[in-house]
Amino acid sequence: MSLETGDKAPDFSLIADNGKPYKLSSKAKTKMMLVFYPGDGLPICEKQFLDYKKEADAFKKQGVEVIGISGNDMKTIKAFKKQHNLPFTMLSDEKGEVAEQYNAFGWFGVKRAVYLLDKNLEILYRHIEPVSIYARTADELHAVIERKS
């Protein structure tokens, strides 16, 4: 089943970088941007998250919480977050089950994808990269958020 703009996003529970369960529906107090990415430490992923980190305050001003989701284990995710001092909640989807629900899972694991959700978990925007060497920039996402506000 393909998720489209206007659909209700599937709820899920994953372990967050603080070691606690993160249930999407219980955390949705504002808009959320789910950022699926192939792996911690990969050059494109680093570039992507450093770009988003630079714009973290701007995302907050737009009322958007950024959530990173990868298929790596928690130890690797914590090291990535610490190394780059990322201000985002990072989630581990080691089995790829959530990525699969969001059409962000392929032959090589978690694909690069972005979903913008409102506080009712309605999908306002989705983009799944056909090739993981590309990523939506913070500027592109700010423009999307403005259009969807």
Three-state secondary structure of 7-70: CECCCCEEEECCCCEEEHHHHCCCEEEEEEECCCCCHHHHHHHHHHHHCHHHHHHCCEEEEEEE
Closest C-alpha among 121, 127, 130 to residue 141: 127
45 tagged catalytic: yes
Out of 45, 86, 123, 138, which one is annotated catalytic? 45
125: tokens are 């925007």
For the chain, how long is the longest CA-to-CA vector? 37
Closest C-alpha among 38, 69, 62 to residue 141: 62
How far apart (Å, rounded) are the C-alpha atoms in residues 76 and 64? 25
Q: Catalytic positions, please? A: 45
